[in-house]
A and B are shown apart, each in its own frame.
Chain A
């Protein structure tokens, strides 16, 4: 089946630094989603992208839907300690419809922010 590959697997950064992570696929996705999961919690949606080339921001977070539809990037500017968590990319295989509920997730990027 379709797989999403995230990199890096983990990041250790200083507070205030910018962060960049990406997600690639061997097949086309028509929607890209970025989630954050904190310990003991379920994933929470950060940004949703629906159009190739789309660039969307949510506060200090910016995500882009790659023009090839096979990749996506998430950037976090001026990181703070509460940015700590696991960041997942995800997308529904196929063009939508009933397949929309069946998300494929990347393996996650673990972010640690040192004060």
Chain B
């Protein structure tokens, strides 16, 4: 597709279960980002992948959160032992990388932990 694709668009899970969120960036984009948006809030940086460099994981809120990017393309954000405070929209974005290149966001995956 032409844009950043995320799945699932909506996910309801029980507290304590693990979830995986998938992101398919724009073809050719070397940089991939995950952000979290809680209800009525701005976006909170989680993790950033740039090419083959080690990812910047400084925004991950706890060790229950992890992300992988396989083959420099698709990324998976995994949340283990989900808690109710993990409920949010998880937004993936991609860009060509580097200063001045526009960051394009996907529509997000809405996670609800009950």
Q: How far is the CA of A101 from the CA of B100 in the complex (A)?
A: 11
A103 touches B43 (CB 8 A): yes
A101 touches B31 (CB 8 A): yes
A103 touches B45 (CB 8 A): yes
Q: Which of B31, B43, B50, B106 touches A105 (beta carbons < 8 Å)?
A: B43
Give the segment of A14-22, A44-52, A59-67 that binds chain B.
A44-52
Q: How far is the CA of A40 from the CA of B6 in the complex (A)?
A: 13
Q: Which of A41, A42, A48 touches B102 (beta carbons < 8 Å)?
A: A48
B4 interface residue per 8 A CB criterion: yes
A107 touches B41 (CB 8 A): yes
With A45-B103, A98-B50, A98-B56 already in contact, the answer to whether A105 and B42 are too (CB < 8 A) is: yes
Sample of 8 A–B contacts (CB below 8 Å): A42-B91, A42-B108, A45-B104, A92-B99, A98-B50, A101-B48, A101-B95, A103-B103
Chain A residues packing against B (C-beta within 8 Å)? 4, 31, 40-45, 48, 50, 88, 90, 92, 96-98, 100-108
Chain B residues packing against A (C-beta within 8 Å)? 4, 31, 33, 35, 41-45, 48, 50, 53, 56, 58-59, 91, 93, 95, 97-100, 102-108
